[in-house]
Structure 1
Amino acid sequence: MLNEYDPFSAYQQTSLDAKLASATSHDMVRMLLDGLLEELDRVTGHMERKQYEAKGVSINKCLNIVYGLDSMLDLDNGAEVATNLHNLYDYCSRQLVTASVENDPLALTPVVKVIQDIRAGWVNLN
């Protein structure tokens, strides 16, 4: 079992800290999208195994990432793109809550698809 003194966890955190220190805002958004997709995968597993407490923790992490991504939008200067992303993030957060309440991994499928599409568009900006 991993704990806060686990050397592997410490290595992962150090690696993440190093990536964040050198990341551009573009890189940070990509990392958040990647992290969200990874956490969505964990939520699915928790639901399938009926691990309700772990599911709740993972759903909360997903919601925090979505809220973080949404808060980074410049709705005043971002024009239609920012508004569309805001609407997609709002949809994802509502769908995450629904999936959690219903404990339905299939309800996560549209969220995964939306985030994958956003990520693909984000990566193609380079």
Structure 2
Amino acid sequence: MLMDDSGFEAYQQVDVEAQAAAARPYQLVLMLVDGFMDNLTRAEGHMAANRLKEKGESIGKCIDIIGGLNSALDMRQGGELAQQMNQLYDFCSMKLFEASVHNDAQKLAEVRSVMGNIQEGWHNFGVAHEGQ
């Protein structure tokens, strides 16, 4: 018997929305990066299993999240750091597109490396600024 996951998915969505409503700005960015990494893991699994439709959907979600992260950059006040982040996000978007088109797991690994470093940076920022 198959179980209907729609109730669980609705619960997860409400939980994410509640976390976002109570989050500080850096926590919102971290939530997006964590979500990105989850979808990247799914894309890798779908690619390995040759589930092309699901791979494309997961990579599409990754690209959407990067678009959100990129659009949140303040290019005027962020200066050189914002420009560097913009370049990293563009690089990752390009590699994700190439990975999808060519079914290339190595390109996903390159993105995982870059975004893993970004994720680690945001985690460290959060640890350093908790309670402030």
Structure 1: state its 5+ residue gaps: none
- Give the C-alpha shift of residue 6 in structure 1: 2.4
Distance in 1 separating the partners of 2:16 and 2:121: 23
* Aligned counterparts, 1:1-126, within 5 A: 6-125=6-125, 126=129
Could you give the per-residue CA deviations for residues 17-46 of structure 1, whole angstroms, max 9, x where no partner exists? 110111111111000000000100000011
Read off the aligned partner of 1:37 and give its amino acid letter: M
What is the TM-score when the length of structure 2 is the normalising length? 0.89
Higher helix share: 2
Moved over 4 A (4+): none
Taking every aligned residue pair, what percent have the same amino acid on both sides?
A: 41
Contact (CA 8 Å) 1:98, 1:107: kept in 2 or not? yes
Q: State the Cα RMSD in Å.
A: 1.4
Could you give the per-residue CA deviations for residues 53-111 of structure 1, whole angstroms, max 9, x where no partner exists? 11111111000000100000011110111010000000000000000011011211110
Contact (CA 8 Å) 1:2, 1:9: kept in 2 or not? no
Count of aligned pairs between the two proteins: 125
What's the secondary structure of 1:78's corresponding residue?
helix
Distance in 2 separating the partners of 1:2 and 1:83: 46
What is the TM-score when the length of structure 1 is the normalising length? 0.93
Structure 2: state its 5+ residue gaps: none
